[in-house]
């Protein structure tokens, strides 16, 4: 029974540790520990959040030099969150449906001779 309780406690601790590190609350050392964030990027994040907390991921991307959509997705996958939310990449731009697009070759017009 004790072994089961210790296992459950260890699993809960691991889940909490992986739960996510919020960009608005993390220390420089905690940010630096996230894969993809070095000391310079951690400083830029902290400097921008001192001005005002990040509202969402798009706010962080707009304000922190060196963080774009691709790096935001990687940082989120490494456990970084903004206001507790992971980065959700925007959907790719929609393409027109094939039926709405003109065909590649113009249709041939057949002329019929009049009698």
| CATH number of the domain residue 75 falls in | 1.10.150.280
Over residues 2-33, the pLDDT tens digits come to 666 555 444 444 444 445 899 999 999 999 99
**Is residue 61 situated within a structural domain?**
yes
Dig out the tokens for 98 from the structure.
Answer: 């094939």
Question: How many domains does the chain divide into?
Answer: 1
**Is residue 31 situated within a structural domain?**
yes
E strand spans, the chain? 21-22, 80-81
Q: Whole domain around residue 72: which residue ranges?
A: 20-81
- H-run or E-run covering 4: helix 2-17
**Is residue 33 situated within a structural domain?**
yes
Over residues 58-89, the pLDDT tens digits come to 999 999 999 999 999 999 999 999 999 999 97
């Amino acid at each position: 029974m004790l072994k089961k309780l210790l296992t459950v406690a260890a699993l809960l601790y691991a889940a909490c540790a992986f739960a996510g590190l919020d960009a608005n609350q993390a220390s420089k050392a905690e940010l630096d520990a996230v894969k993809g964030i070095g000391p310079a990027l951690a400083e830029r994040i902290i400097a921008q959040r001192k001005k005002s907390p990040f509202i969402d991921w798009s706010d962080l991307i707009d304000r922190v030099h060196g963080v774009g959509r691709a790096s935001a997705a990687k940082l989120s996958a490494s456990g970084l969150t903004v206001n507790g939310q992971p980065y959700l990449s925007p959907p790719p731009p929609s393409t027109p449906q094939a039926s709405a697009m003109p065909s590649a070759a113009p249709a041939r017009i057949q002329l019929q001779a009049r009698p």
